[in-house]
Amino acid sequence: MNIGAFILRRLLLQIFVLFGLSVFTFLLMFGLPGDPAAILYSAGGSLGFEEYEHFRQKWGLDLPIWKQYANFVTNLLKGDMGTSLVTRAPIFDQLKSYFPATIELSVVAFIFALIMGLPLGVISALRRNTWIDHTIRGISLFGVSMPIFWLAIILLIIFYYHLGIVPSSQRIDLDMEIPRHITGFYLIDTLVDGNWRGFINSLHHLVLPAFVLGFSVVGLLARVTRASILEVISLDYVRTARSKGLHEKTVIFRHVIRNALIPTVTLLGLLVGGLLSGAVLTETIFAWPGVGRFAVQSIMLLDRLAVVDVTILVGIVVSTANLTVDILVAFLDPRIRY
């Protein structure tokens, strides 16, 4: 199949899926019995009765659900994600400020997971059925089975409460100046401004959350790498490479690993999903001001519009990652392209 047609088809499918996702979450949030505005009116009394009435009218809460949905989509296409019920700030602005925090955390976690996971998988495969292999498989099993929030708490007990060598929350010390907003990634923004103290400090804040988040996917990465190396290593062309007298190192690095990494690339899409759902828990524990924590807060306060928006955002990120992976694999593996 022509790669252009392939991408177009995937793109259309993606739009359809996102449409389905928006309908589903919208129905879930607005279709169920209960009054979306009442929680604010009743609970903390952040709305007065008139404001409450005004709110109901603005979002057309008395209209039939499909009209509400049409209203929502029209606004969304115009770039208006609506206003948060809780903070009463535009949801778009909030997501814009939280998004870089989550990306920064996830990217560092991801780098950590790659540095740990890939070599572990390769070593495990090359030393198959030795104690090294068993130990590494044990580690990845731990990573897959461990409740990530529990790991975070244990590490906090050790490194924060007892040793006192890492901060427990936030992206930067509270008494430090928040870096000037350039990209929203503190590590980059501080570097650009030559603010070394800020850079070190935000890195310091990142270490523990990123480790916890990364560890949750190391196991997955190591497992898939191991399996895919084992699959490639027994293929004929590897035997050919060996029998023509190539050095074992050359065989492994030039022939085996290169081809074995293709299935691992497919995994990246899955990893993005894993990191995002891990971020929900990690950000909650480390009070990390990111999309995950915002999602939990909106969900718990039934800030319905915010929930729908966040879900769609997450859907866009995950499906874009998957699409990118598919295209990447098509380029890496000519068998799929032609």
Q: Which stretches of the chain bind other proteins, using CB under 8 A?
A: 13, 16-18, 20-21, 24-25, 28-29, 32, 141-142, 144-150, 153-154, 156-157, 161, 273-274, 276-277, 280-281, 284-285, 295-296, 299-300, 302, 307, 311, 314-315, 318-319
- 188 vs 98: CA distance, rounded Å: 16
Helix axes 258-285, 148-155, angle to 10 degrees: 70
182 or 300: whose CB is closer to other proteins?
300
> Considering just the CA atoms, what is the radius of gyration of the chain in Å?
24
Round to the nearest angstrom and report the end-to-end CA distance of the chain: 6
120 or 217: whose CB is closer to other proteins?
217
140 or 190: whose CB is closer to other proteins?
140
- 198 vs 179: CA distance, rounded Å: 7
**Residue 299 Cβ, how far from other proteins at the closest point, in Å?**
5
Helix axes 91-126, 258-285, angle to 10 degrees: 130
**Residue 191 Cβ, how far from other proteins at the closest point, in Å?**
31
Residue type, position 315, single letter = G
Give one word for 164, left, alpha or beta, with left for phi > 0 and alpha for psi -120 to 50: left
110 or 199: whose CB is closer to other proteins?
110
19 or 331: whose CB is closer to other proteins?
19
172-176 contacts: CB < 8 A, separation 24 or more? 172/198, 172/201, 172/202, 172/205, 173/201, 173/205, 176/201
153 or 200: whose CB is closer to other proteins?
153
Q: What is the dihedral of CA 320, 326, 332, 337, to 10 degrees?
A: -130
**Residue 24 Cβ, how far from other proteins at the closest point, in Å?**
6
**Residue 248 Cβ, how far from other proteins at the closest point, in Å?**
24
